Structures are given as structure tokens and as C-alpha cells.
Amino acid sequence: MRNKRTIIISNRLPVRIERRDQELHFIPSEGGLATGLGSVYQQDDNIWVGWPGFVPESEEEKLIIRERLAELNLVPVFLTEEELMGYYEGFSNEVLWPIFHYRLSYAVYNTDNWHIYKQVNQKFADRVQEQDLNEKDEIWVHDYQLMLLPNLIRQRYDRISIGYFQHIPFPPDEVFRSIPWRDELINGLLGADLIAFHTYNDSQHFLNACTHILGLPIHNNCLHVGGRSVFAEVYPMGIDFEKFSQLAHSQAIRTRAQQIREFYMDRKFILCIDRLDYSKGIIERLEAYESLLKEYPEMREKVILYMLVVPSRDTVPQYKMLRDEIDRMVGHINAVYGTNEWIPIAYFYNSFPIEELSALYVAADVCLVTSIRDGMNLVCKEYVASKEETDGVLVLSELAGASKELLEAIQVNPNSIDQIREGLKAALDMPPSEQRRRMKDSIDIVRKFNVRHWVKIFFNRLREIKTFQKQEMAR
Ligand code: G6P
């Protein structure tokens, strides 16, 4: 009999495909999830199922991709343009994303998109079923694009272990209730044995939705669903600490960081890195920076705001509008406050390789995270992991999941321009001894609760729950 297999499932595969010069290129992701789960899916007969970020032109091309990905233990789910519009843009990013980030007015409810979301979740389930699973296998489903999948798999495999992780916040039940199809979404998740979140509040919001919307009885964090115990728990995700720490220690990165600082004339360097997203508080941050220059004119020419915005979801209207607004504000601040010797904001709309990010982290005196809502926010952890040798201060939104762990950061409410401004000012003025003391505490946490630890404790718990369920059934 074959060994137990582990199947990871997420919307995106950890490799994305691009066509350049008539050829297909397979580009591995450097994201946290890909590294954290690398040791899992690359082993034995384990696999990762997901969308390869590419729409093939022919059946022949699909076959080529399937074979190439199979060598990497990856199984593609191909999606048509129409499916991507309904499932990814329409439902995931125009209903679930805004609602789960508390932006009710941004949600666009469209029944056709809901049907396509269901159809695509079913497509993922079909692809999983083709993998010849058995009841001993373990499945880990990731994120809001696949909320119906746990139950679709459960209908086919009664006893199999299924875990689900939500990488974004889960809103209070009265906010979640706005979604016309909320019952089906919760029932979809309840196919899992372990439903996990970054923070305690998210898990409580989910449990409240189960009782208040579906009327399910709860015992502590345990729900009883069709005779099966389902647990909602908290597992804050970490990063690959070693990777960022090693990069930051390397001579090449140190030299590059020095070059960056020199290019900006050794001015106080404030770093912001985000995907283009309205949940990141980019506009609020720009307003706060302008307010800093206004209220503290002595800071002019002494600071630089280095803002890297990574292109994302640019086909969704809200994202296009945000991009225009950022362009306008950056232009305004640079035009009003800039001089021949100094441009207040260095703004990039691009994605940079990890080495360049690492050099920016090393170079930065301050890392500023202003998310209006964020499941976790890994950028602030990457900054911390890059700061063993150089000084720096983290200014962190109290509405990002990471604020529950990084208590030594300067925490601000991102809806308050005054608080962001004063947080920035305090960071810029902080004496080196205090910077070191605070950063050391943060480093200890990020090092210990790294992404491998996260994967390990999640699987340990999933196994524990399976054993518990077996004992329950034997009783
Ligand atoms: C967030 C979500 C992920 C998503 C990522 C990038 O971190 O939690 O599920 O993959 O954003 O967004 P994208 O829409 O490009 O996949």
C-alpha cells in the first residue's frame, strides 16, 4: 500500500508561466507560502494543485505545461479568460476581498460571478479527485478563492484530513452577512477539520458567523458538523527568517544597500513596500508624509520616502482608480515640496527581485506599514529579519495581523493621519540604543515563529484532530 500523501491547494501555483519570445518560461515564486511549503510538496508523491497564472492557447500547450509541471510535483488547473473574470476578478476580488477587508461599499454582487466561482471551485475539486487520493491523505487548502473546496472534497472523501488557512482577515459576522451567498461559503469551509486564521479576532469572527448565521452550536473553538468535530484556530504565519537574515548579512547586499543610501545622499530613508491595494492605506500614508513635511519643515530635504508599489489586479476597476490617485498625490507632493536638490518621494510601480528588496530593507532607517486591514503583512517581518546588523524602526498599523506579535514596533491607527505622522517622527528621532532594544525583541519573535514552524504546527494539529475524531467515532 502506498504512503500517505499531502496535497497543497491554492489559487496560484508556486511557479508561474509566461510566454516570451514564443517560448514558455516557468518562473518560481519567491513568496512566503512557496518557501514555507517547499519542503512539503517537493517530497515523495506530494503535490501542489493550482492555477499557473497563464491561459494556454491549445490542448498541445496544456499537455506540455502539464508534463513540465509534473516534474516539479505541481498540478495545473487551467482557467479560461471567462472563468478568471468571474471567479478571480469578479467574485474573489470584487466580493470576498472588499468584504473581508471591511470595505462594504466596494463590493459588487453579481450572481453570474458567484456561479462561476462555484464552477471553478468544482473544477479544482475535480482536479484533486483525479489524483487518486485515499482516506489517509492530507489536504491543505489555502485562502478565500477556494472557500467552497473543503466541502466539495469532503463530499467525496469522508475521512480524509482537510485543513484550510485563511490568509486574509475574517470580518465580524454582521459584515460577512452582507454577502448574499454567505451560508454556502461557511458550509464550504466546514468541510475542513481545521480552519485556521492569523489572529484570534479573525477566528472569533468566523465562529460567530457559524452560530449567528447558521445557528451551529459551538463548544469553545469546536463546531459539530454532521457528527464531525471541526476546529477554528489561530496560526500566525511567519516568514523564511534565515533567507532574509542571510541575504542581509551578505557582502553583495551590504554594498548594494550602501549604494542606495549614497544615491539618496544619506538622507533618512523611509521604506514602504506593498502590492497595489486599497487595503494597504497608501493614500493615508502619502497624506501623513505630506503632513510631516508641513508640520515639521525642518524635516524637508532630510528625509526620503521610498515607495515601491507592486502591480496587482490591474483589471479590477478599484485598483485602476487607486493607481491614478497615487500618481496624482506623488506628483503633487513632489511638485509642491521638492527642490532642485531633493525629490521627497521616490516612487516605483514595479516588482523587484528579492536581492534588491533585501538591500532596501538593510538601507532603510524606517519601514512604514499603514494597512487599513491586513491579514498578517509579511513585509514588516521581512524588514525585521533584515535588521540584525543595521539599525531601523518599524512603524506598523495596529490593523495588520502582525501588530499582535510585533509589540515593540511603533503602532499607529492608519486612519489617523496625525498618528502616522507622529509615529514617523518618533521613528526618525529614536535614539540608536532604543532602536536596537526594540528591534532585538522583534527579531527574536520573527526568528522563532518562522514559516517552517508555522507549517509544522499546522500539520501537527491537523493530525491530532484526526486522532481525536477517530477516538470520538470509536466511542
Ligand atoms: C494576498 C492573498 C493571496 C494572493 C496574494 C496576491 O496575499 O492572501 O491569496 O495570492 O494576495 O494576489 P493575487 O490576486 O495576485 O493572487
Mean pLDDT of the chain: 97
Top mutation candidate among 170, 312, 318, 373 for ligand 1, by most atoms within 8 Å of CB: 312
In this structure, are residues 74 and 48 in contact, taking their beta carbons and an 8 Å threshold? yes
- Whether 233 has a pLDDT exceeding 80, the answer reads yes
Reported ipTM: 0.99
Residue 1 has pLDDT above 80, yes or no: no
Q: Residue 326 is which amino acid?
A: I
Name the residue with the closest Cα to ligand 1, atom 14: 313
Count of H-run helices and E-run strands, the chain: 18, 17
Which ligand 1 atom lies nearest to the CA of residue 312?
A: 15
Q: Which atom of ligand 1 is nearest to the CA of 92?
A: 14
Distance 11 CA to ligand 1 centre (A): 9
Give residue 417 CA to ligand 1 midpoint distance, Å.
Answer: 27
| 168 CA: nearest ligand 1 atom | 8
- Cα gap 280→275, rounded to integer Å: 8
Cβ(99)–Cβ(168) under 8 Å? Answer: no
60-89 pLDDT tens trace? 999 999 999 999 999 999 999 999 999 999
Each residue of 110-144: pLDDT tens digit? Answer: 999 999 999 999 999 999 999 999 999 999 999 99
The ligand 1 atom at the shortest distance from the C-alpha of residue 93 is: 14
Residue 299, pLDDT > 80, answer yes
Residue ranges lining ligand 1, Cβ < 6 Å? 12, 143, 167-168, 312-313
469 and 228 Cβ atoms separated by less than 8 Å = yes
Ligand 1 center–CA 182 separation, angstroms: 21
Q: What is the pLDDT of residue 52?
A: 97
Tell me which residue has its CA closest to atom 15 in ligand 1. Answer: 312
Q: What is the pLDDT of residues 378-415, one digit of tens each?
A: 999 999 999 999 999 999 999 999 999 999 999 999 99
Q: Which residue's CA lies nearest to atom 10 of ligand 1?
A: 12
Cα–Cα distance, 422 to 179 (Å, whole number): 38
- pLDDT band (50, 70, 90) for residue 2: confident
| Smallest CA separation from ligand 1 atom 16, residue | 12
User: What does the alpha-carbon distance between residue 197 and residue 218 come to, in Å, rounded to a whole number?
Assistant: 17
Q: Of all atoms in ligand 1, which is nearest to the CA of residue 10?
A: 9
Label the pairing between strands 47-51 and 6-12. Answer: parallel
pTM of the shown model: 0.97
Tell me the per-residue pLDDT of 22-44, one tens digit each, with 9 for 90 and over. 999 999 998 889 988 998 999 99
pLDDT for 30: 84
Closest Cα to atom 9, ligand 1: which residue? 143
